[in-house]
Structure 1
Amino acid sequence: MKTVRIVGVPEHFNLPWHLAIEDGAFEDRGINLEWTDIPEGTGKMCQLLEDNETDLAIILTEGIIKSISQGNRCKIVQEYISSPLLWGIHVAANSSRNSIQEVKHDKVAISRLGSGSHLMAYVNAQNQGWNPEKLQFEIINNLDGAVKSLTEGSGAYFMWERFTTKPLVDNGTFKWLGDCPTPWPCFVIAATDSFLESQPGLLKHILEVINTYTEEFKQIPSIDRTLANRYDQKFEDIQEWLSKTTWGQHQLSEETLENVQQKLFSLDLIEERKPADKFLYSNR
């Protein structure tokens, strides 16, 4: 049995991995897939990849592209979620702010520098016609940190996946102001260069298993109820999320990679655009 370490956020997107692990689908291939939840998100996962503390990560597309551009020795092996991520924009429930435009001069609460919440704040600022250079940040580590910061009166706004934060809107912790969707497929599977060089066969088996699960995921009987119960979501919210979400089984296209690099470059978040083979793994 070969052990492979994998990390991802503790959110509904990753249920196919947990079902495959629970079903013994990886064990049947001689793989002990060790999953670790990373509530801090993409910035933390980039660090784990860089420090060789994980082999694989289910990670936000823009975050890993920025990290690889800055020298992180890993590659994207394929898309995982092909649809955009809906970044909900939130403030404390008692905030006087009622629209995205009203938070223009407020601080942004982010999990860490290089995280999706950090990078998408720049994308949102550009979308709104604001000067991204004027953004100011407050690091809150994770969703619990955001709850603490906003409810204790920081006055910041906070961007996180809309359906994950929906229960906190429903219970009166946050106020939702609107969404900022990613203009590209939102999650990819990334692997360290050392894992790709030493275990290409293991990777092939892992992708075969997870792609089988994601291709059939929406057809699983009562999967909407399973998701709602497991992730403490309202049934109708999960149904809406499922209707908007598509899993991918193929490599990220070079065109999409170039689009992301161009956006990050235009926001001064990377120094230069680099060729596709710096980012995309090919087993040919």
Structure 2
Amino acid sequence: MAPLRVGYVREHFSSPLLQFAADDQGSTFTLVECPSGTGQLIGRLTNDEIDIAIALTDPLISGIAKGNKAYKLVGSYVSTPLNWAVITGKDTKYASIADLKGTTLGISRPGSGSQTMAYVMALQQGWATHDIDFKVNNDIHGLIQSVNDGSTSAFMWEWFTTKPWVDRDEARFIGSVPTPWPSWLIAAHPERAPASQLSQFLDKLSTYVRSFDSPEKRSKEDIEFIKTHFGYAEEDIKAWLNTVGYPQSCSEIPRKVIQDTISTLEKAGVIEAPESGFNVADFVNETVVTLT
């Protein structure tokens, strides 16, 4: 049986997956890096470039709600919210989120977390969806460039991932918007990832996630791993570890996570329910995942 192709974003959140991959050595799965984020992950699932994606909750759910058949949800990866920073250029006039109404925001790709969370931000601010426009900038480097050349007003990205640019005075934080849901789920193509192979992957990933999440590993080994692989300052790593949690089992998803995410995305205008409403079972591969 061919190794599974697992798409991921190379960020500190991926540390347990990277540790698993280092031990596996490609025998059961290979990693496919997707630096542009969840929009790129969904595109690669659709284009038969990966079999599994570890990606952000909201764009995964909104994609299925909009009719994407290239994947179903099969598990959980991070059980805590993601803190989305709102970032502008080093010399722009924008001082707060309120200043962004009617401007053009940078996003990595259509359907990405950077776009869906912009709609959630608009909902919280009481803006209509036409109060913001979008410009695609592919990845963090393009997004940083866009806020400094004036082609966009701001963009949204995970706080600690963008902090190095802020620390170097290449960008500024003007706010943050935590997700109203656990931040990372696992999705897989319903046919290219056989259920037995997928279940084995999720069971083994769960052991690495639990190990990484343990108090013993958090006190030292996690810090050293992230420092070595991502170059973050120790104080930033400790601050992030204080905010993040992982599930005990990667092959379970709380039903409420899907329901609450759907509800918020509807209110934000990201998705529109059919007349009969959404059925949570349509979002998951029930032969693999357990809804709790």
TM-score range, shorter chain: over 0.9
Partner of 1:257: 258
- Asked if structure 1 preserves the Cα contact closer than 8 Å seen for 2:101 and 2:131, the reply is no
Q: Is residue 2:234 matched to residue 1:235?
A: yes
Instruction: Determine the C-alpha separation between the residues in 2 that align with 1:157 and 1:278.
Output: 35
2:182 aligned counterpart, secondary structure: coil
Instruction: Give the C-alpha shift of residue 251 in structure 1.
Output: 2.1
The counterpart of 1:97, out of the listed 94, 97, 102, is 94
- Asked if structure 1 preserves the Cα contact closer than 8 Å seen for 2:59 and 2:113, the reply is yes
- Asked if structure 2 preserves the Cα contact closer than 8 Å seen for 1:252 and 1:280, the reply is no
Instruction: Determine the C-alpha separation between the residues in 2 that align with 1:251 and 1:210.
Output: 12
Q: Name the aligned partner's letter for residue 17 of structure 1.
A: L
Structure 2 residue runs without a partner (length 5+): none
Q: Is residue 2:200 matched to residue 1:205?
A: yes
Residue-by-residue CA offset, 1:13-70 (whole Å, 9 max, x unaligned): 011111111123773xxx1x11011111111111111222210000111101111122
- Asked if structure 1 preserves the Cα contact closer than 8 Å seen for 2:80 and 2:183, the reply is yes
Moved more, 150-159 or 83-92: 150-159
Instruction: Determine the C-alpha separation between the residues in 1 that align with 2:35 and 2:242.
Output: 25
Residue-by-residue CA offset, 1:193-231 (whole Å, 9 max, x unaligned): 1135xx111111101111000101033343112202321
Instruction: Give the C-alpha shift of residue 4 in structure 1.
Output: 0.7
Partner of 2:132: 135
Instruction: Give the C-alpha shift of residue 131 in structure 1.
Output: 2.0
Instruction: Determine the C-alpha separation between the residues in 2 that align with 1:53 and 1:136.
Output: 30
Q: Is residue 2:50 matched to residue 1:54?
A: yes
1:23 aligned counterpart, secondary structure: helix
- Asked if structure 1 preserves the Cα contact closer than 8 Å seen for 2:129 and 2:269, the reply is no
Moved more, 98-107 or 53-62: 98-107
Instruction: Give the C-alpha shift of residue 189 in structure 1.
Output: 0.6
Do the aligned partners of residues 53 and 155 (structure 1) sit closer, same or farther apart at CA in structure 2, a change above 3 Å counting?
closer
Moved over 6 A (4+): none
Residue-by-residue CA offset, 1:76-97 (whole Å, 9 max, x unaligned): 1111001000000000011122
Identity %: 32
Q: Name the aligned partner's letter for residue 271 of structure 1.
A: E
- Asked if structure 2 preserves the Cα contact closer than 8 Å seen for 1:95 and 1:155, the reply is no
Q: Name the aligned partner's letter for residue 12 of structure 1.
A: H
Instruction: Give the C-alpha shift of residue 128 in structure 1.
Output: 1.6
Residue-by-residue CA offset, 1:262-283 (whole Å, 9 max, x unaligned): 1222223222142111112222
- Asked if structure 2 preserves the Cα contact closer than 8 Å seen for 1:9 and 1:41, the reply is yes
Structure 1 residue runs without a partner (length 5+): none
Partner of 1:152: 149
Instruction: Determine the C-alpha separation between the residues in 2 that align with 1:152 and 1:213.
Output: 42
Instruction: Give the C-alpha shift of residue 106 in structure 1.
Output: 2.1
Instruction: Determine the C-alpha separation between the residues in 1 that align with 2:22 and 2:92.
Output: 43
> TM-score, normalising length from structure 2?
0.90
> TM-score, normalising length from structure 1?
0.93
Q: Name the aligned partner's letter for residue 32 of structure 2.
A: T
Root-mean-square deviation over aligned CA pairs: 1.6
Instruction: Determine the C-alpha separation between the residues in 2 that align with 1:169 and 1:98.
Output: 14
1:98 aligned counterpart, secondary structure: coil
Q: Name the aligned partner's letter for residue 17 of structure 2.
A: W
